[in-house]
Structure 1
Amino acid sequence: MTPEFARRTYQEVVDHMLGTLSAQGILTDTAPGSVTRTLVEATSREFAELYARMNAVYEAGFLETATGSSLDQLVALIGLTRLSGETDIVEMRFERDNRVSARVIIPAGAVVTVERADASRVSYAVLDGDELRAGENTIEVALRALPDPDDPDADLSVNGDDVTLNNATFVAPIAGIASLSLVGPSVRLGTNETDEQLRKRARMAIASAGGGTEKALEQALMEIEGVNGVRLRDAGDPLEGVPLRPGEIEIILDGDPKDMEQVKQAIARAKGPGIIARLASTQNVEIGGTLVIRPASATLSNSQALELVRNCEALITETVDKLDIGDGLQWNRLLAALMSVENLGDILIDQSSFTLISTIDTQTIAPGDVSIRETQRLVPGQETNSLIVTLEDRPTLLIGVQLTADITEPTGPVIDQFTTELRQSLGTYLEAIDTSKPNAVLTLAETVTALAADQTMTVLTDQITLTNFSLTALETGEGSLQNLTSDGTQQLSIPQNAILRLADPIVSFTWEDPA
């Protein structure tokens, strides 16, 4: 804070001195042109200049008020220098790792090596820290060339051939960023870095390197593989959890870091001295249930109805995936987004419900706002707790498969390939069934015959037999479960205008080792 009277204007000094002389009754003739006023005005001019210079010296000691050469000397204390107009700047596009859905911190100073077409390498550093927000897949970031310590006059530019080669790699990978690419050739900054630009860069450097700040802790932890998000609370934070005393903080990690020792070291390095850090992890709350919708038209074909259902479910999943730690679901926003889906007429809230499953309990609620604790994350339900969208007056049958294979359990890639091929083949077969007509049926024998004849099936095809293969059908509206098993004579009656969908997961396995 600026000290009181750190700076007085010329008129303020004159008025103060004349007022003091008059109050003391020593010199009372202060009219313009008098000897007293003339002497006071001459002296006040020098005092005003002194005040101005002292104030400038004071402001030169702070990042927010220092300017010009004073700012240059101040940021030199943390190893920064003002960028000259000759500095090369390049833009790079950072792409998200699809395994990470939360925001990704891109720290200022992160170094990238660019291999040029002539096989030489130059280094660039992120100019200003940024972040890839939840829901964003790419971000374009400016980087500046780092001088070559062995050759200060070296050419550090990147040209069109270098962009075509597009060989850029992180010196230290950033968790959550899968790849990076050059947007275009480098350009010269043109003019020296302004005071405000230099201040911004200095703030980022202090936050990332100084330690003891929320930003420093967050950035240090977000760089660790497996950490998707960070939330902090202290004794003054009203969040639920273990009571904290002054000097204690709770660090809530979202994700599954592979190296907890690395996490502990990052906390010790970034937290302030004398601060006790307690580590906690987030708990997932799965949201599932059934959302009953009414299409805008009663004449939708089966394929159109299925597309409507899938679009609604994809939108709900995308909305939930974008939520951060502690963020609840805002029903009005989700409802507004759903109503923009093509062919959707209405959502029947009185016939719908949400199911919330956590490690503590399970609860069923009517569609509406969903609140969670600050240490929890809302995630789309998996398997039996998935959120299913179904149409009013058009029942939905979820079709699943049980395969009892008389072989030793194969490796993962074989199972993954079989699951993918089966999903494609069985999905095509089900879509061909005309449910608009009454008395439509599904038999195991016909299904097995169709799958065996499909040339796109390449693995485990010898296991698709009436003996090893069975179908399971769950009617979502009624909750009734039907099984079609080995003898092949059973029939599944399909309600008229029903939508046939594949369950997720589509297949469950039982391995019977022939040995």
Structure 2
Amino acid sequence: MSFLPRTYEEIVRDLLTTLTSGTVREQVKVLDTGGQRVTEKLSSRPVRRVSFVEEIRTDEQGKKTKIRYTAADYELIASDGSESNLDTIRFRKGKQQPDMASTLSVNYYPVSAESTPLTDLNVGSVVRTLMETFARELALSDLSLDYIYKSGYLETATGPSLDKVVALMGVQRLPAGYPTVKVRFSRNAASPGQITIPADTAIVDAKNNRYLTLEALVLEPYESSREVLAAGEKPGTGEVAAGELNRLETIIAGIAEVTNVKESSKSSAAESDEDLRRRAAGALHGVMRGTVNALQYGLLNIPGVKSVNVVEFPNDIAGEVRVEVSYSEDTPEVRKLVDDRIGELRPAGIRVISGEAAKKPLEVQIDLTLTGKGVSQSELGALKTSTETAIAKYLADLPPGGSARQARMSALLLADARIADAKVRLIVPGKEAQENLSLESNEVFEVKKPFTFAQVVAEEQAAAQAVSSKATFYLPLHLVAGVTEAQAQSALETALTAYLASRGPSAPVSVDTLAASIRDDSRYALVRDEATITIEKGDTFMQLADAQGQYVPAAGETMEKQAVNLDIREGGV
């Protein structure tokens, strides 16, 4: 179960549609027919017009994003091929597309909709004021329900609510005055690979003052030591001087030394929500046995293990679990530690099938644009080597189920001041190149070297190429009495051409500047909060809305007007 609160603007929109005899928030699925994406038939068909289409898209991290589609993205068609029985939404090729099998929320007006006695819905009218008052109270109720929903989860609860959640795990917030100290864990020089130190690791001094680490700590292969905060086991735990905390209660493989560089101190404030949340998560993983999380986190604590994926019912047989391990250091010693830990943590009566993540071969192509006039041939070889090393490490470190993202790879390369722009293409043998690529839950990348550098150009050379972009406008309007849609269209076409011609690096494109530029009180009034501008440049596009985003054209860039879609609203100005 999940809960997504509606905003005030969404509630007002739906109430307006309902008051004018429209259908609100009908849920329809997206289908693929002949290479084009269409929706299921709308229930109250035939349809006169569609006023709103939205998709709630969930990414791999579970984050929900609302995607709004405008008339520039879709058209209303009849599934039987007639001209009158409009009942289906079809998305235009080359425009913004919903995900396959996703569910859309649609507001629309059926042909059979009854006329409404409410005619004055303008801002300030009695009907509109009552409706907006009701919408405000509904929005506040949704926000209250959202707060209640989030208060039940460790990741989102705050304050007293978080205290109650962590109490279920036997964890309490550290009050002000608790003794805390930073302890440093140092690696044994003979122990390469990754070393994980779990939360609640106990360190003591000669007087048996016991301190527990507050979060898990990972020593990467290139790190010789790291520090982590520890707190006294009880409020009365004695304070310690520098260097006195030097004994581990339980030996950790690969750790040569532990100590506190500075003396302990009493905390001046109670533990923060973020620190408490992190400590509670670590404490939960550390004490469990016989669960999926116990297996996963227990194996991740072994030096040399990069990632772990646990699959329940791998063969559709109850009582079986498959554990797929990806190694950063694949040695017989590490494999033995993995087998021993599985035997220690597995649930009683459960058969654990050991395996390792499948290797997915991957070839990489890179295009580079270098700053200024570029670099010399001798320097170019070193630049390619550093570029290859950075991308190869990023791809090799991705865990099973992870995603290689163009934005992250570009950021890694652009950290080099010699690189002005970069594009990375990922190629699985036998398939087309992709900019982003996701792994299955049991896969890791096997990166092939050397990389292919398909194009390396200097910035001054690249700048000589012509740049152009196209703009599509969606403009909801209220017309002044006596003005026709054709007259408004003609006036807007001229105004928009002049507006695009005036845009440049110091005059970006936005709905705000558009509204000021095309304002014409003698002909129409723009419904500004619903207007959008879609910019297309090459293979990319971006959508601008009121007070949301702007597009800055490059020097010398030509902007063309692709389409002007008017949405004439009922009621005059």
Q: What TM-score do the two structures reach when normalised by structure 1?
A: 0.44
- Higher RCO by CA contacts (8 Å cutoff, separation 6 or greater): 1
Higher strand residue share:
2
Please state which structure has a larger fraction of its residues in helix: 1
